[in-house]
Amino acid sequence: MENTSSDYEGTNYSSSRSVTWSMDEMDYLMDHCIEIDSNRRMREQFIKPIQLTFRDQQLEAEFCQLKEDTFKSNVLCVFILWFFVAASLAVVIPRNKISIASLTAASFMITSCLVLVMANEFPSLPKKLIKFSSSFSLRRRDRSLFVIFIITTLALATGLNIVSVS
């Protein structure tokens, strides 16, 4: 049985096996390959590879103003994951004042962050808080700074817990 290699990446078909492609499958495969090639060319032409920003400043400014719909759900996922991490740390690491204080402070901070991000979903909260919350879904820079703050807070709390045992 002799193997022949196809032109499509990484697929091998034996010559004794007949492969029949419908026209719809062929069209789909061709469209997919064209889309991949087009995306690659556009990325090389318009995007800075290291920074993942647009080369054109006006296009970057417009992109930064796009509303981000997944930010709230991402913060909620981090909130839930933090409480699993905090519970694990509380069980595994011996309890002392530093570890309890750092876990409590970080938990309070992440809860405050969640309330801040979700505030525009609750009209009964103060208007200034709702307006501030809305800014996160509209400005990429604010979201990025907020994420950096959350990561730093949680990393410091976890680090303090680990160091306090030593």
User: What is the tens place of the pLDDT at every residue in 39-58?
Assistant: 888 778 788 878 778 888 88
pLDDT of res. 108: 93
Q: How far apart are CA 109 and CA 98, in angstroms?
A: 16
Question: Mean pLDDT over residues 85-94, rounded?
Answer: 84
Q: How far apart are CA 61 and CA 73, in angstroms?
A: 24
Burial class (CB in 10 A: 0-12, 13-18, 19+), 22: exposed
The answer, as to whether pTM is greater than 0.85, is no
Please check the confidence at residue 93 and state whether its pLDDT lies above 90.
no
pLDDT of res. 141: 79
